Amino acid sequence: MRRIIAILMENEPGALSRVVGLFSQRGYNIETLNVAPTDDPTLSRLTLTTIGDDLRIEQITKQLNKLVDVVKLVDLTEGAHIERDLMLIKVRAQGALRDEVKRTTDIFRGQIVDVGPSVYTIQLAGTSDKLDSFVAAMADVDILEVVRSGVAGISRGEKVLSL
Amino acid sequence: MELLSGGEMIARALEDEGVEYIFGYPGGAVLHIYDALFKDCKVPHILVRHEQAATHAADGYARATGKPGVVLVTSGPGATNAITGIATAYMDSIPMVVISGQVASHLIGEDAFQETDMAGISRPIVKHSFMVRRAQDLPITIKKAFYIAASGRPGPVVIDIPKDVTRPDEKFEYQYPQSVKMRSYSPAQRGHTGQIKKAAKMLLAAKRPVIYAGGGVVQGEGSELLTRLARELNYPVTNTLMGLGGFPASDRQFLGMLGMHGFYEANMAMHHSDCILAVGARFDDRVTNTVAKFCPGAKVIHIDVDPASISKTVMADIPIVGPVRSVLTEMLSQIAALREKDADLPDRAALERWWRQIDEWRAAHGLWHGRRYADSDMIMPQQVIESLYRVTKGDAYVTSDVGQHQMFAAQYYRFDQPRRWINSGGLGTMGFGLPAAIGVKLAFPDREVACVTGEGSIQMNIQELSTCTQYSTPVKIINLRNNYLGMVKQWQDMQYGGRYAMSTYEDSLPDFIKLAEAYGHVGMQVTQLADLDAAMEEAFALRDRLVFLDVFVDRKEHVYPMHIAPNGSMKDMWLSKNERT
């Protein structure tokens, strides 16, 4: 099962490599990884998605918790949560396809953020599924480049991951 | 406040931390530190002959005393040579602080001379690591390193220090912190009371209980409490390789070691148990055999300070996260309370039946029963350990290397006290024994320290005979010489049709007697059983000399019992070359 694990960790050199290293060292998969400082500059927030059964996820969270740089973590998929992945996608857009791409982008509530004579660059945010669907909807379009931020996530309601 | 340079701060901090020995080797990146040690430091430094030995010596010291071992090495090759020893300590949860020099800050990343990314290379085998960028951060970093290394589930911590951070001409205020608090690190201080109560109930309801105690009992100073618990309930106890000495081996309730080369009665009792109390043990693959077939009828109570050790391979029915001492203390009082309410707990009749069954197993194939040595005219390796046990009255510190000799020592030296058995269990590091013995002997100069080894292992750190000369550490090296890499040969006999690929040295072994003498030590050779005890006594009578006792043992002997793998359970064992369960 796919899980989203959010980690609050010390904003120290080497902290990220410890998290990433743990996954390769113990043979766990990372599907996506997103990391940036928080409003507190001493803390980084890392969100990663991984796949595994309950036992494996339990081991992953325990091993992550053991890392000295990890202050707190939560498995967001255990409760109601919001997840967002950001995609920038550059496509060939010429002739009749220009309108078609624009329409599809509107349907997905994306924005065309850069326009060239024969290309569009589209920005789209949402769940990973939504981004996948958009890419699938572009089947007839020549996709030139795709970049995704990886999932960032947060719990719904009062629940917060903080010190 | 006093002004000190980075190098001086390190020297002073190690004093303030109460460090007894630094094990190390100098080099370019740590010369400022060595100069500070030379000028003013009360902590003696032991110069080894290879950085791997520095880590093993510090490790041996730590295992014997319970205090963190301290290592100081230079950058590049100094640091990489220390890696095997750090990994050894990591796998066995041994507290250690390794200070490694690093090239000067402005050279980092430029492939400078003797530069290596120590933090990166050591990352998967340390509990934590630091790179210190400013001299002012040294005291707090060193304090944190010792705190992390020794608390919770102990382990090695690396502090990587660029050369310029230790320069003598820049001085800063020095104050060593009394204590340290880290928001991101807070090991469990006590177990969950509700869980402990549930466990106590389950334990008292057991009809075929086994206490399975590992290295956590030794490291966590829980031996006395565990022994009390076992004796109060009259429950059988088995130890892992790392746990030996955690429960007195000469006690009637002791089943011996369990696992791949565990005692027959220990493995049988585990397999047929209905309730296993695992204490500071981690269900290692060398214990469980095939996990899917592990102890099919048993409920598992698992106490460990490291939550990640619980339900990692074998699911715990009652997990208890906490230090062994506090959990066992609470469990003892819970058990007392439950028994006050119901004096019939535990079920004595069931326990009696269980003990009868265990005694039957013991009689059928205990290590001490019916061993047949008659088919060889050579000394059997087991007899050497028995002789060592007799001559040292079971009271020595015994270090070992890795292989057959290690298993024989684990099986035949009956450890009645914790911290006496010093071996690389998790990583299985050949070359561990001699440097570890140095660390133990320095910690306890008045105690007997024996290193049980083989020709393969001893040659992996033989250069440390020179360190022993320099610091007068008169350990006794007991070399079980069978002219093979014995454990490799055993597997080749059993699984590879006796094709001894690279497991013999042919005629290339050195004359160990002359070698020992070349370093200024005493060498003795034993080839006849009749001479064994006398030679052993003579070796230990030479109190102030290192003695290399080269004992020629049977070349064909295998270690038994041995788990049948793959797909075997705890009870599936080879008992000899042609008998199996």
Give pLDDT, residue B104. Answer: 98
Q: What single-letter amino acid sits at B463?
A: Q
Is there a contact between A44 and A112 (Cβ–Cβ < 8 Å)?
no
pLDDT per residue as tens digits for the range B236-255: 999 999 999 999 999 999 99
Q: Mean pLDDT score of chain B, rounded to an integer?
A: 96
Does the pLDDT value for residue A14 go beyond 60?
A: yes
Q: Min CA distance, A84 vs chain B (Å)?
A: 27
CB pairs < 8 Å spanning A and B = 37
pLDDT in tens, A48-103: 999 999 999 999 999 999 999 999 999 999 999 999 999 999 999 999 999 999 99
Catalytic-residue membership of B51:
yes
Look at residues B161, B168, B106, B109 and name the one whose alpha carbon lies nearest to residue B137. Answer: B161
Q: What are phi and psi of A80, to 5 degrees?
A: -65, 135
> B185–A63: do the CB atoms touch at under 8 Å?
no
pLDDT at site B578: 86
Q: B117 at the A interface (CB within 8 A)?
A: no
Chain B residues within 8 A of A14 when measuring between CB atoms: 119, 123, 129, 131
Q: Does B482 contact A at CB distance below 8 Å? A: no
- Decide if B87 touches A, using CB distance below 8 A: no
The answer to whether the beta carbons of residues B367 and B256 sit under 8 Å apart is yes
Residue B333, pLDDT score? 97
Q: Check pLDDT > 60 for residue B325.
A: yes
Distance (Å, whole) CA A76 – CA A7: 10
Say which DSSP state B124 is in.
G
- Candidate from A11-15, B455-459, B518-522 with smallest mean pLDDT: A11-15
Pairwise CA distance, residues B437 & B452, whole Å = 10
Distance from the Cα of B6 to chain A's closest Cα (Å) equals 21
ipTM above 0.85, yes or no: yes
- In angstroms, rounded to a whole number, what is the distance separating the alpha carbons of residues B550 and B513? 8
Residue B68, both tokens: 């963190």
Which chain A residues have a beta carbon less than 8 Å from that of B120?
A: 17
Q: Does B250 touch chain A (CB under 8 A)?
A: no
Contact with chain B for residue A14, Cβ under 8 A? yes
Examine the pLDDT at B122 and tell me if it is beyond 50: yes
DSSP string, B148-199: HHHSSS--EEEEEEEGGGG-TT-EEE----S---BTTB----S--HHHHHHH
Looking at beta carbons, which residues of chain B come within 8 Å of A17?
A: 120, 123
Residues of A with Cβ-Cβ distance to B148 under 8 angstroms? 68
Contact B183 A55 (CB under 8 A): no
Task: Determine which one of B202, B380, B487, B570 is catalytic.
Answer: B487
Asked if the model's pLDDT at residue B177 lies above 60, the reply is yes
Query: CA A3, CA A105: separation in Å to the nearest integer?
Result: 28
Other Cβ atoms within 10 Å of A77 Cβ, number: 16
To which residue do tokens 């010489």 refer? B481
What's the pLDDT at B370? 47
Q: Decide if B216 contacts B305 (C-beta within 8 A).
A: yes
If contacts are CB pairs under 8 Å, which of residues 170-189 in chain B contact chain A?
A: 182-185
Asked if A40 is an interface residue toward chain B (Cβ–Cβ < 8 A), one would say no
The one catalytic residue in B143, B163, B441, B489 is B163
Contacts (Cβ under 8 Å, ≥6 apart) of B206: B235, B273, B274, B275, B299, B346
Q: With a cut of 60, say whether residue B233 has pLDDT above it.
A: yes
Q: Is B487 one of the catalytic residues?
A: yes
Looking at per-residue pLDDT, the higher value among B367 and B41 belongs to B41
Q: Which residues of chain A make contact with B129, given a CB cutoff of 8 A?
A: 14
Q: What pTM does this model have?
A: 0.96
In chain A, the residue whose alpha carbon lies closest to the alpha carbon of B123 is A18
The closest alpha carbon to B100, from B22, B41, B42, belongs to B22
CB contact under 8 A, A63 and B308: yes
Average confidence (pLDDT) over B98-109? 98
Q: Which residue in chain A is spatially nearest to B307 when comparing CA positions?
A: A62
Which chain B residues are closer than 8 Å to A68 by Cβ?
127-128, 148, 182, 184-185
How high is the pLDDT of residue B373? Answer: 60
Query: Which residue from A13, A63, A71 is facing B183, i.e. has the nearest CB?
Result: A71
Q: Does A79 touch chain B (CB under 8 A)?
A: no
Query: Using a CB-CB distance cutoff of 8 angstroms, which residues of chain B are in contact with residue A21?
Result: 123-124
pLDDT on residue B513:
98
Residues 6+ apart with CB under 8 A from B257: B238, B239, B240, B241, B244, B263, B266, B410, B411
* In the predicted structure, residue A128 carries a pLDDT above the cut 50: yes
Contact B129 A59 (CB under 8 A): no
**Average pLDDT of span B50-57:** 98
B130 as an active site residue: the answer is no
pLDDT (tens digit per residue) in B77-99: 999 999 999 999 999 999 999 99
User: Tens digits of per-residue pLDDT, B145-159?
Assistant: 999 999 999 999 999
CA-angle at A43, arms to A37 and A46, nearest 5°: 60
- The answer on pLDDT for B564 being more than 90 is yes
pLDDT (tens digit per residue) in B338-379: 999 999 999 999 999 999 999 999 988 877 554 556 566 789
Contacts of A71 in chain B (CB under 8 A): 183-184
CB contact A17 to B (< 8 Å): yes
Q: Tokens standing for A43?
A: 């803390």
Instruction: Closest CB to A62: pick one of B120, B129, B308.
Output: B308
The answer on pLDDT for B138 being more than 90 is yes
Q: How confident is the model at residue B532 (pLDDT cuts 50, 70, 90)?
A: very high
Would you call B536 a catalytic residue per the annotation? no
> What is the C-alpha radius of gyration for chain B, rounded to an integer number of angstroms?
25
Over range A25-36, report the average pLDDT. 94
Average pLDDT score over residue span B450-461: 97
Q: What are the backbone angles phi and psi of residue B323, rounded to the nearest 5°?
A: -65, 140
Question: For the sheet containing B209-213, what is the strand order?
Answer: B254-257, B237-239, B209-213, B275-279, B299-304, B318-321
B128 touches chain A (CB under 8 A): yes
